[in-house]
């Protein structure tokens, strides 16, 4: 067995185990919000693990590109769908909620943001992303496929220029981007273990909470990435953003301070990735 085969085997076993544990969470956790953490988070990360294993074992570049595309789409669509479902349940008074759920407003020092604005014009990163997807779907770099991909990417990028995320700003800071990816990856691994460990608890010992977190981001790209990252991380789901206050459901928050610190660290790294320095007033 080669090292690649060994890594793929571990990814398959680990991903399958997470999917099974997600089913257990669906049965053990007390309400719809907490069940989301078990069923959707563990299952999504489990599918990512098995898909990455398949990508490692794929025998062709086309297979690898398609499988990696599946992983990227899971990151983009899974947290969004989860947040929308959680938001609908949050505003539906008939949705059963654990009586132990606490609403915890949290005050941070007033942040100062430098050099932020809503930028106009097309996002070239969106065009590059669409071109890569086009090539992956066709699995060919024939001239007609390449030309078709360029034309489609250019038309879509121009047509949706006012809605496009401006991710090239982040790409201009590769070190900060790498720091964010490492931090986010570690948070996902650690939080997955925390959710799995919570399965051992009796449902009455869980302390779910809805935390109010004031954000200092000002661009849609940053806010979207922050909310997606929070919702993708097991144990937290971004419910909604209202007047610069982000509401996050936490699976188990006996002490909300560590959760706030993690969200704050995540926000700081995203802002640094976009070239923004944040200074926190301590006085």
For the segment 130-188, what is each residue's pLDDT rounded down to a tens digit? 787 787 777 777 888 888 888 888 887 777 666 555 555 555 677 888 888 899 888 88
pLDDT of res. 260: 87
d(CA 3, CA 193): 25
Within 92-233, where are the H helices? Answer: 124-138, 143-159, 168-171, 174-198, 220-232
Q: Could you tell me the two tokens for 5? A: 């085969």
9 and 104 part of one domain: yes
Report field, pTM of the whole predicted structure over 0.75:
no
190 and 251 part of one domain: yes
Buried b (16+ CB within 10 A) or exposed e, 59-68: eeeeebbbbb
Q: How far is CA 221 from the centre of its chain?
A: 13
155 and 232 part of one domain: no
Quick check: 280 and 109 in contact, CB under 8 A? yes
Quick check: 156 and 126 in contact, CB under 8 A? yes
d(CA 121, CA 157): 9
Q: What's the number of domains the chain is made of?
A: 2
pLDDT of res. 120: 46
Residue numbers of the domain that contains 146: 124-159
| Residue spans of the chain under pLDDT 70 | 1, 40-43, 59-64, 75, 104-125, 160-172, 201, 203, 276-283
71 and 145 part of one domain: no
Phi then psi dihedrals of residue 207, to 5 deg: -125, 75
198 and 60 part of one domain: yes
60 and 86 part of one domain: yes
Residue that is last in its domain, among 159, 184, 219: 159
44 and 132 part of one domain: no
Quick check: 50 and 114 in contact, CB under 8 A? no
- Provide the angle, in degrees to the nearest 10, between the axes of the packed helices 174-198 and 42-57: 120
150 and 171 part of one domain: no
Quick check: 211 and 259 in contact, CB under 8 A? yes
Quick check: 123 and 165 in contact, CB under 8 A? yes
User: Which DSSP category does 105 fall into?
Assistant: E
107 and 73 part of one domain: yes
133 and 153 part of one domain: yes
11 and 72 part of one domain: yes
Residue that is last in its domain, among 101, 134, 159: 159
150 and 264 part of one domain: no
d(CA 158, CA 268): 31
Quick check: 108 and 264 in contact, CB under 8 A? yes
SS3 249: strand
pLDDT of res. 237: 87
């Amino acid at each position: 067995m080669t090292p690649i085969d060994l890594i793929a085997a571990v990814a398959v076993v680990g991903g399958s185990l997470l999917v099974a544990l997600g089913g257990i969470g669906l049965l053990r956790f007390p309400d719809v919000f907490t069940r989301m953490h078990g069923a959707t988070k563990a299952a999504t990360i489990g599918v990512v693990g098995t898909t990455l294993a398949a990508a490692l074992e794929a025998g062709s570049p086309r297979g690898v590109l398609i499988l990696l595309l599946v992983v990227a789409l899971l990151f983009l669509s899974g947290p969004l769908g989860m947040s929308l479902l959680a938001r609908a349940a949050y505003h539906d008074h008939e949705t059963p909620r654990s009586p132990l759920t606490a609403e915890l407003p949290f005050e941070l020092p007033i942040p100062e943001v430098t050099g932020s604005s809503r930028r106009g014009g097309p996002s070239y990163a969106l065009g590059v992303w669409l071109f890569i997807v086009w090539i992956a779907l066709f699995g060919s770099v024939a001239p007609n496929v390449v030309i078709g991909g360029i034309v489609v990417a250019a038309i879509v990028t121009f047509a949706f220029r006012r809605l496009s995320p401006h991710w090239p700003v982040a790409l201009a800071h590769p070190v900060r981007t790498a720091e964010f990816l490492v931090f986010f990856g570690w948070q996902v691994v650690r939080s997955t273990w925390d959710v799995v460990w919570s399965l051992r608890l009796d449902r009455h010992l869980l302390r779910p909470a809805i935390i109010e977190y004031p954000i200092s981001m000002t661009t849609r790209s940053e806010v979207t990435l922050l909310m997606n990252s929070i919702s993708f991380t097991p144990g937290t789901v971004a419910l909604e953003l209202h007047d610069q206050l982000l509401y996050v459901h936490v699976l188990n928050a006996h002490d909300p301070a560590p959760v706030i610190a993690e969200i704050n660290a995540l926000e700081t790294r995203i802002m640094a990735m976009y070239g923004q320095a944040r200074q926190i007033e301590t006085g």
